[in-house]
Chain A
């Protein structure tokens, strides 16, 4: 007998299915968490060494002062676009198929932002002086330089984190209220506290729906601005292949691209691990795969525009970076990036017969690696090939940067696993079509 479409199931059944993965911790969950935790601890140890010995123990040397930390920062901020942009766009366009994926996406946003937001502090070296970025007059009566893109970053990321946490929390309230009713463990108190006494009255539903619509509009504008500002960290510098007017939209496209890829990887894992095959169906993967394919084409368009204008301009310092990227020491990374970001998704997702759950996940993993390489090329190739040709250098990260980078991926896994064990990863109350909605 064919399984019933989840939309036709009763709320009781949906709740049972989606609350089941929250049941007691099993050994696999504990083992994975412990493994991730070990990597996080290793990263913290590496950071401890860096704080103790100074930035000299990293691979960051003149003229390459931005390395893995800035690459990771841009990468994670890019991943954070999974939730807000995808969820907000689909919510505003009233796309019904979004329902099982929005919370998974919004959670990625919050955790990716928390991780990405750490990198400027790690990169400061003297991390304990991070408050110098906050606009309070210090001992020398100086205010921060508001013209600095780093202060822009701080403002933008604070706004984005605040917005993303609220955007994740608001639709969680009705589900948490249900959990407070049914859960009989130590979590009950947490759920009750988080539910704010939600009773399901029409006043509460009206306020929630209105707030979600408005938040979707605002968060969309914030998400676009945040990655544009991250792009301006580069574009405001008069450095070869950074000082570009299209860097803002180029970065936003890249961020949405990697965000969708991250969402597909996460969905693929939770679908299998939490046995949510009935809820995360081929329809969701297929739609996201097509979005990923579209973003791949857009990414190629921006990359080609960026490189073609530089090549045509033939400006010596720009051509130095261009040459290093396409035929010099960075060429393997460059062509790997093109293959991973365009060729693989184009073949696996563009040819209908090849588009399956597995190939969509493979293409997404390739895009994540490819987008990390893109950020590596942007940061390192330019800094390693400055205008002064005698200052050319090569960047080699030490174990410190590698350990901290690995720790951030482990932290993402750890945070996500804890979240998925505490809260339903699919919004129960949003799942069924509401009376006013047409699919």
Chain B
């Protein structure tokens, strides 16, 4: 039994010593590798210095200057500003002329981001017309003003042909977003959605026909209901 333990201990001792030898060799190996790297760096440094130290005369001394390119800024024409005129049907208050402004930024060829502001003056409800002298709203309260932000998607880009020789790029688009409507002395959270057609007579000019609905909750006529206020407008925009 005792002998067996001795054999075991001896085996462990031999194994440990050989392990140390391996580690010691590994350290030596690392030292060699470091020396090699230092030598390589020294060689590279000398190689870099050599052109300066080169005293042999050159046959041809190159006088070529590298041509410098001045890169002019490329103009982006993604912003579209415009005015529009149309008719806006204020629910229960008749259809009246409307006018507005739009500002859009074209993010990709498919999507654009648009802000809209417009106003109209609401007419009389049938209740007021039939009731004689009844006035539901004062004249300043009849101003209907909207402003909103929408995301548009050009879903049918194409070309419109005028005769044989003229092709204008065009697109049908859909848009939707959120905003507010100031009407009857109150501001209401408004959701808008619509569609339009844009045709570009030139690269910087566009003509739009747009139909857009603006929906908001109203309790003007006694009950709270969702009113839809549809606008059809024609506009012109300029790209910057």
Q: Do the two chains belong together in a single complex?
A: no
Contact surface of B with A, Cβ cutoff 8 Å: none
